[in-house]
Amino acid sequence: MTERDFAVWAPKPSRVDLVLREPDRTIPLVAGEDGWWSPAPGAVLWEPGIDYGYLLDGEGPYPDPRSRRQPEGVHGPSRTVDASTYGWHDADWAGHPLDTAVVYELHVGTFTPEGTLDAALEHLAHLRSIGVTHIELLPVNGFNGTHNWGYDGVDWFAVHERYGGPAAYQRFVDVCHQEGFAVIQDVVYNHLGPSGNYLPLFGPYLSDASRNTWGTSVNLDQEGSAAVRRFILDNALMWLRDYHVDGLRLDAVHALVDEGPVHLLAELAAEVESLSEETGVRRTLIAESDLNDPIMFRERESGGYGLDGQWSDDFHHAVHVNLTGETQGYYSDFDSVAALAKVLTRGFFHDGTYSSFRGRLHGVELDRARTAPWRLVVASQNHDQIGNRAIGDRLPASLGSDALGIAAALTYLGPFTPMLFMGEEWAASTPWQFFTSHPEPELGRATAEGRIAEFARMGWDESVVPDPQDPATFTNSKLDWSEIGDATQPEHASVLALYRELARVRATLPPGDEIRLSDIVVEFDEAERWLVLRRPGAVLVVNLSGERIELARVAPDVLALPLVLDTRAVLDSGEGKPPTSSTGAMPATVDPLSVLVARPSD
């Protein structure tokens, strides 16, 4: 069965009819094997631009579960799309390796005032200036309403109309490739949104056997799960094949309940590997996982899932706590320089240790001699860690540019794959809050009430939580690009200058595939709050305190090395030029809340 013959998997109803628009026609479908229904030969001609839906036992019509376009929203008819007609210009594109990547996470609706894919393309030169190689789009699939984070999607095969629909998506990826950027698409396979989810009417897409944070789990291992798994795999391959996407970020894979003989993630990795070999284009799979378990990227032959990498929130928590001093909720275990040192050298903080927030042992220890640290994607800010705060405040709301410089230096020049969240590179003052536009008033109220309840364990003031349904919550979260050139706010230009310098230095570091966690060495002093990170290609002397420290006392050997970067000097100059030449001498002292970067001897 293909999307070109109006076939649909619907084992639940006893009768399925295809409803066409202009001219209006209703065509009975013929039951086939394994719950599939399709038109009789010659009953209807598939062509692009047809609006259609399905009657299930006379009810409906409902949109196609595999709909490529929903021009009237999730409750409206589906529209046929021929993705093969687009004239691609990326025949020479072979992908970009993750081990030398700088990932940039953006939400299409708030990245620009227009909130479209075409508008986002206007900022590629800016992204190149800060060393970005991979652009990661938050979910773009169809959801109910006009604006949303995207994690409430119900039409997984469609591109949200307000972003530009499927044609704009193809243009976006095509231009990115021509400009040298890889594209990663954030996809959600662990749950479906609450509004416009008609899939359960067609078949057992959901499982009553288990639930997760967002409701009933997707059916991966119960009766009918083979077709549901194929639905997910085909969706993943659609992005990679039809839209030429370079990789997928897999949302909250710890919520995928799969007790089958081959885990869905391993099956996905095998099919993506085959596609990469077939097309000659490198594809990447990155998991968001709360498990702290290298099973995600361990080879399938060794019992792993064979993905390329996974997020490590422990890095974020350790950096955040050491800079902000916040220790409530899940931050509590990271309240030490030692926690930051452990994350930098071992990848996970919780690697079989007790997690006070979870109330149990958590995580699995990484094999330092075998693990390439680039397999962990890290960030000092991301959509979750900002948007899931009570008021969606970014780090600049509580930190000065000097502390922001430390976070940026550890992210760019640490051993892991760095990921930036849109706007952090100029210390954007705009928040990024949780916003929804559910047309159903009762769902809007339930979402707002549930949002407030989520913050109880973090100790945040529930009274200041913005209403997700208030349109201002969405508009307030849009980036203000004028901040970069605002002479009255020079701190934005200074931070941007530092990000550009960090990108320059990162480009000189050895490829991540040549490095193992065992190559990373950290010395630190808890009381004086300094840390020296030694990695191939760079030595970082980090002063987390408010006092100047003597370099000869904390790292005497570094005095003889050439200075590559001084974060405080770049921030003070605001011009993006190195404070000294690459062969200059190291200063005798390290300024408060700053980082000195030296080039180690061979």
Question: Catalytic residue positions?
Answer: 251, 288
The Cα 338–Cα 121 span in angstroms is 42
The amino acid at 73: G
Return the number of other C-beta atoms located less than 10 Å from residue 180's C-beta.
12
Rounded alpha-carbon distances, angstroms, from residue 220 to 64, 141, 208, 481: 20, 21, 11, 43
Closest CA to 124 of 178, 71, 50, 194: 178
Q: Tokens standing for 116?
A: 């479209």
The amino acid at 486: D
CA dihedral of 395, 375, 529, 385, whole degrees rounded to 10: 20
The Cα 134–Cα 176 span in angstroms is 9
Return the number of other C-beta atoms located less than 10 Å from residue 445's C-beta.
13
Closest CA to 76 of 189, 169, 161: 161
Is the bond leading into 77 cis (omega within 30 degrees of zero)?
Answer: no
Strands (E), 278-392: 284-287, 309-311, 353-355, 360-362, 376-378
Sheet holding 521-525, edge to edge: 521-525, 530-535, 538-543, 594-598, 563-566
The Cα 292–Cα 314 span in angstroms is 9
Rounded alpha-carbon distances, angstroms, from residue 600 to 122, 272, 474, 509, 537: 38, 39, 46, 11, 6
Query: 523: part of which helix (H) or strand (E)?
Result: strand 521-525
Return the number of other C-beta atoms located less than 10 Å from residue 173's C-beta.
26
The Cα 198–Cα 121 span in angstroms is 34
Report DSSP state, residue 366. -
Q: Tokens standing for 377?
A: 């994607």
Beta-strand relationship, 284-287 and 309-311: parallel
Q: Is the dihedral of CA 350, 351, 356, 359 positive or negative?
A: positive
Q: What is the three-state SS of 179-203?
A: CCCEEEEEECCCCCCCCCCCHHHHC
The residue whose two tokens read 């840390």 is 531
Q: Are 549 and 530 in contact (CB under 8 A)?
A: yes
The Cα 136–Cα 284 span in angstroms is 12
The amino acid at 87: G
Name residues whose C-beta falls within 8 Å of residue 319's C-beta, 6 or more positions apart in sequence.
340, 380, 406, 407, 410, 411
Residue 30's DSSP bridge partners are: 38
Q: Is the dihedral of CA 140, 146, 147, 149 positive or negative?
A: negative
